[in-house]
Amino acid sequence: MQHRSIDEVVFLLGERNFVFIAVMGTVEGEPCVYINLYRVKDEKIVEHWGFPEKIPPEEQWKNNNGML
């Protein structure tokens, strides 16, 4: 099992029955971003799509925008 943590919610958007969340955190001690989309029905999560994406070292970045 991977050790994951969330450090900062960067973006949160909800509309109708969908919620989109982008957060910064770590996976196994490495910096990453998490992108998640949830579908809600009757105040419960009924579907979830999401993934963590590791952030490469800054010298490998193609621009100065960062991941989020």
Q: What is the pLDDT of residues 17-63, one digit of tens each?
A: 999 999 999 988 889 999 999 999 999 999 999 988 888 888 888 88
Task: Please state, in angstroms and rounded to a whole number, the distance separating the CA atoms of residues 19 and 12.
Answer: 7
pLDDT beyond 80 at 66: no
pLDDT beyond 70 at 1: no
Task: Please state, in angstroms and rounded to a whole number, the distance separating the CA atoms of residues 29 and 52.
Answer: 13
Neighbours of 55 (CB within 10 A): 19
